[in-house]
Structure 1
Amino acid sequence: MTPTRADTDLADRGADRVRWIRSRMPLLAAAREAFAADRPFAGHRIGMSLHLEPKTAVLLETLAAGGAELVATGNHGSTQDDVVAFLRGLGMTVFGARDDTMQQHHANVAAVLDAEPDILLDNGADLAAGAISRGGDALERLVGGTEETTSGGDRLRGELAGRVPFPVIVINDSLLKAIGENKHAVGQSVVESFMRLTNLMVPGRRFVVAGYGWCGRGVAHYLRQLGGKVAVVEVDELKAFEAALDGFRVGGTEALNGEFARWGEVFITATGHADILTPAFFEVVADGAVLANCGHFPWEIDVAALKAGASGVERLDDAIERVDLPDGRHVVLLADGRMMNLAGREPKGNSLEAMDLGFLLQSLSLERVARDPGSLRDGAQPVPDEIDREIARRMLAAMGADR
């Protein structure tokens, strides 16, 4: 198909955005130069399912420099069309669009697997689950892969446990990623996204953060640093203990569906698990409360139940809906319950520096899979310690931390 003027304009816009991002990712720049010389991915086809935004484009350029053939799709609701157009202009096979339905997203994932990759770069274990479901050649050709998220790691160790006959390095198991990307980058980007999407004030506002893993920690701390009043919902006793010592109000599910529901003005889920905000919560939540999610899957807020029990739903902006409840209360839903920091007209996601670090973890982990899969065991496993420590040294040098 011959590109139209609109296609060219879209690709040019994507190129402009990627140019700035690329200029601020020195760790990937060094990896790209090394990969171009060593070609560790020559002869490999990498199938990817990961948010398609400008920082991801720089990761794909880096892998392509190392000889990889890439077949990619994004995650549901976060694909940026100008980035897709830019990557297609580089000759990459990329599926997906911003307004894809969930059904189309699943078709995109299937199309990536149809291309017969031998390495997977996964986000949420969609590709791994699809390959396992197919079995046969789809599994036999896989030498290994990586998984970006907590949610995907949970799937690999839960529903897919014992069924993954190839090594998968779970990037989110890295302490380096937990500190640099999850706590600080997600914390910053979620709070920035709340302000960008709603234009509401943080200081003095009452926030409830569900989950005190690394992402929840970051969200809670950044909100408080900007003057927000913050309560934390956590069912794990040790994490709840940590949140209490960090100075937050702390409660469990009973508090979420009781006193916290009536106290909070903004509720942000960051657990990675399904059914956190449910009908029991909707029945008592304060009038006018804002509901948002920053977990990978759009299942933490039971949006279907919320809308099924509504007396009316009105879209106020591209990422804001007012949901009227039968008793006269209403709530405001952000991004239809999807990942809020990749929503809206100008989504930014995590900071450039954090993703430079995170995507170097991806790059070097994929290099290990391509070069030496025999050094890895089958199934989910953490980033090798020597990779973590090497990247920490590079990041400290890039930050000028000794100055």
Structure 2
Amino acid sequence: MTTATLSLPKHEVKDLGLAPLGKQRIEWAAREMQVLAQIRERFAQEKPFAGIRLVACCHVTTETANLALALQAGGADSVLIASNPLSTQDDVAASLVSDYGISVFAIKGEDVATYHRHVQIALDHRPNIIIDDGSDVTAELVQHRKGQLADIIGTTEETTTGIVRLKAMFKAGVLSFPVMTVNDAETKHFFDNRYGTGQSTLDGILRCTNILLAGKTVVVAGYGWCAKGVAMRARGMGSQVIVTEVNPVRALEAVMDGFRVMPMSEAAPLGDIFITVTGNKHVIRGEHFDRMKDGAMVCNSGHFDIEVDLVALEERTTSRQVVRPFTEEFRLKSGKSVVVLGEGRLINLAAAEGHPASVMDMSFANQALGCEYLVKNKGNLAPGLHPIPVEVDQEIAALKLKAMGIQIDSLTPEQIEYGNSWTAGT
């Protein structure tokens, strides 16, 4: 671990010697992030964040690095911390400090105490804007840093889990500032959640197990946008996919999409691989472990590591051993084994590199423009949750199509007139 020097910003990263590799990887990701590049270029000219203190609690990856550089170009005084103990890419963290002068507090594998200490360090920066991923920083702010609430212009949130928490905060009357719900933007959840999570989740499973997915029975818990992507990609790899749900509309959608749908209790003895993607707690519990076949694999692609009840699993365990990186076998009292991947944390970031850069390009464009919107509308937005404006969403989509070299039609004057008229009919 390194500590701050006179020539570098305050930081806590694993090893600054990793910076050259991190810089190379950040630049590689930038090749696939042309929307953010266009925004960064404009930010560099307009400086929308001049004088703004910003905290970003995100997965410290090559894609996040490019977001941080866009915000820096816009004049932000930033501190970056990890939003998950296993999601940090140490070479990226080192490069952001060493090559770009951004203050980073993130180490892959940091313990929970270190994680919470980094949250405190971030809030010590007295941020005006918070970019949150799971709402841990925001929750700490409203609970224990009430004296800093006057500093806050607003926050952004890009996870389903975080938005659920924010809605609960607003209902409880403790959310006294505006929040941009980045996760709800169409250019975020239609693409990042479905295609990004779908691909990166299977990438993480394959990296830590090297199993063949074809012919396996994969149980996907949930059928929101992230779970839809996981189910779709698993089927594409030749797996038989079972979906479990609590929402009748989503369950019906899964059936219509061609998946088997049943309760987890019925799926437990059938599955070879279980993937939780719900954002809720203890989706896989003790009674499910009891019914699983020998050697069943369990992992999580939701934000927090509470979707799989690992305490209940430990209570049934006589021994446990790490058999591969991020792959741990639990031997149960019944004689069967259950294999947990990625310690029950986000499998796509614990065992792989997270979403591809091209899809995070749109997600982080939403983050950057959401922050700009908060600053431009300071004092004019009511406390509570606000969607990314439709025009911003469409601007991001248009920039993405432009970067891909794709053109689309535009409405003719006649079509515009028709669309705005109510008199035309049969």
Q: Output the TM-score relative to the length of structure 2.
A: 0.90
Q: Is the 8 A contact 1:125 1:152 kept in 2?
A: yes
Q: 1:75-106: per-residue Cα shift (whole Å, max 9, x none)? A: 22211211111111122221121121112101
Which one of the candidate residues 161, 173, 186 is aligned to 1:151? Answer: 161
Q: 1:346-370: per-residue Cα shift (whole Å, max 9, x none)? A: x221111100111001000001011
Q: CA RMSD in A?
A: 1.6
SS at match of 2:176: coil
1:326 and 2:337 aligned: no
1:206 and 2:217 aligned: yes
Corresponding letter in the other structure for 2:277: A
Corresponding letter in the other structure for 1:47: V
Instruction: Return the alpha-carbon distance in structure 2 between the equivalents of residues 8 and 103 of structure 1.
Output: 22
1:288 and 2:298 aligned: no
Alignment of 1:375-390 (within 5 A): 375-390=380-395
Q: 1:223-243: per-residue Cα shift (whole Å, max 9, x none)? A: 111111000001100000100
TM-superposed CA distance for 1:189, in Å, is 1.0
1:178 and 2:189 aligned: yes
Instruction: Return the alpha-carbon distance in structure 1 between the equivalents of residues 170 and 108 of structure 2.
Output: 29
Corresponding letter in the other structure for 1:278: R
Larger Rg: 2
Corresponding letter in the other structure for 1:84: A
Instruction: Return the alpha-carbon distance in structure 1 between the equivalents of residues 32 and 24 of structure 2.
Output: 13
TM-superposed CA distance for 1:159, in Å, is 4.6
Corresponding letter in the other structure for 2:290: E
SS at match of 2:70: helix
Q: Is the 8 A contact 2:209 2:324 kept in 1?
A: no
SS at match of 1:397: helix
Alignment of 1:124-135 (within 5 A): 124-135=134-145
TM-superposed CA distance for 1:308, in Å, is 2.7
SS at match of 1:262: coil
Q: Is the 8 A contact 1:167 1:373 kept in 2?
A: no
SS at match of 1:91: coil
1:297 and 2:308 aligned: no
Q: Is the 8 A contact 1:129 1:160 kept in 2?
A: no
Q: 1:53-73: per-residue Cα shift (whole Å, max 9, x none)? A: 111011000000000000110
Identify the range of structure 1 (177-186 vs 211-220) with the bigger mean alpha-carbon deviation.
177-186
Corresponding letter in the other structure for 1:110: Q
TM-superposed CA distance for 1:175, in Å, is 2.1
Identity of aligned residues (%): 38
Alignment of 1:207-356 (within 5 A): 207-251=218-262, 255-257=263-265, 259-344=266-351, 347-356=352-361
| Structure 2 unmatched ranges of 5 or more | 9-13, 409-426
Q: 1:146-186: per-residue Cα shift (whole Å, max 9, x none)? A: 01100000000125532111111111111221111101111
SS at match of 2:291: coil
Instruction: Return the alpha-carbon distance in structure 1 between the equivalents of residues 132 and 252 of structure 2.
Output: 33
SS at match of 1:98: coil
Which one of the candidate residues 340, 362, 365 is aligned to 1:360? Answer: 365
TM-superposed CA distance for 1:377, in Å, is 2.4
- Aligned position for 2:60: 52
Which one of the candidate residues 22, 37, 50 is aligned to 1:42? Answer: 50
Instruction: Return the alpha-carbon distance in structure 2 between the equivalents of residues 378 and 223 of structure 1.
Output: 41
Instruction: Return the alpha-carbon distance in structure 2 between the equivalents of residues 308 and 209 of structure 1.
Output: 24
Deviating above 2 A after TM superposition, structure 1's stretches of 4 or more consecutive aligned residues are 1-4, 6-9, 134-137, 159-162, 373-377, 399-403
Q: Is the 8 A contact 2:134 2:162 kept in 1?
A: yes
Which one of the candidate residues 77, 87, 112 is aligned to 1:78? Answer: 87
TM-superposed CA distance for 1:375, in Å, is 4.1
SS at match of 1:169: strand
